[in-house]
Homo-oligomer: A and B are copies of this chain.
Amino acid sequence: MLNVGIYGASGYTGQELLRLLIGHPNTNVVVVTSRKLKGIGVSEVYPAFAGITDLRFVDSSPKNLVSSCDVVFLALPHGEAMNVASEFVEAGVKVIDLSADFRLKDVSVYEEWYTKHNSPDLLLNAVYGLPELYKNDLKKACLVANPGCYPTGIILGLAPLLRRGCIDTASIIADSKSGASGSGRDLQLGSLFCEVNEGFRAYKVASHRHIPEIEQELGRVAETAIKISFTPHLTPANRGILSTIYANMKEEISESELVDMYKDFYRNERFVRICRQGSLPNISSVRGSNNCDIGLAVDKRTGRVIVVSAIDNLIKGAAGQAVQNMNLMCGFPEETGLNHISLFP
Contacts and interface: CB of A to CB of B under 8 A. Distances in A.
A284 B200 CA distance: 7
A181 B51 contact: no
B194 A339 contact: no
A193 B228 contact: no
A200 to B, nearest CB: 5
Interface string A17-30: 00100110000000
Interface in A301-331: 301-302, 304, 306, 308, 310
A180 B205 contact: no
Q: Chain B CB within 10 Å — which of A237, A299, A341 has the most?
A: A341
A238 B343 CA distance: 11
Contact of A345 (B181, B203, B246, B291): B181
B198 A239 contact: yes
A133 interface: no
Interface in A164-178: 170, 173, 175, 177
A52 interface: yes
A244 interface: yes
A238 B76 CA distance: 32
Contact of A175 (B244, B270, B297, B339): B244
Contact of A187 (B177, B189, B197, B285): B189
A343 B343 contact: yes
Interface residues of A, number: 87
Contact of A300 (B48, B206, B291, B340): B206
A191 B196 CA distance: 11
A242 B43 CA distance: 20
A343 B194 contact: no
B175 A301 contact: no
Given A19-B341, A193-B192, A237-B200, A293 B175 contact: no
A244 B235 contact: no
Contacts of A99: none
| 4 smallest beta-carbon distances between A and B, as pairs | A199-B284, A206-B299, A194-B345, A48-B342
Given A191-B192, A235-B235, 9 more contacts: A47-B275, A47-B282, A48-B343, A187-B189, A200-B282, A203-B280, A205-B308, A229-B299, A239-B345
Interface of A: 12, 15, 19, 22-23, 46-52, 170, 173, 175, 177, 179-181, 185, 187-189, 191-203, 205-206, 211, 227-229, 231, 233, 235-240, 242, 244, 246, 270, 273, 275, 279-289, 291, 293, 295, 297-302, 304, 306, 308, 310, 339-345
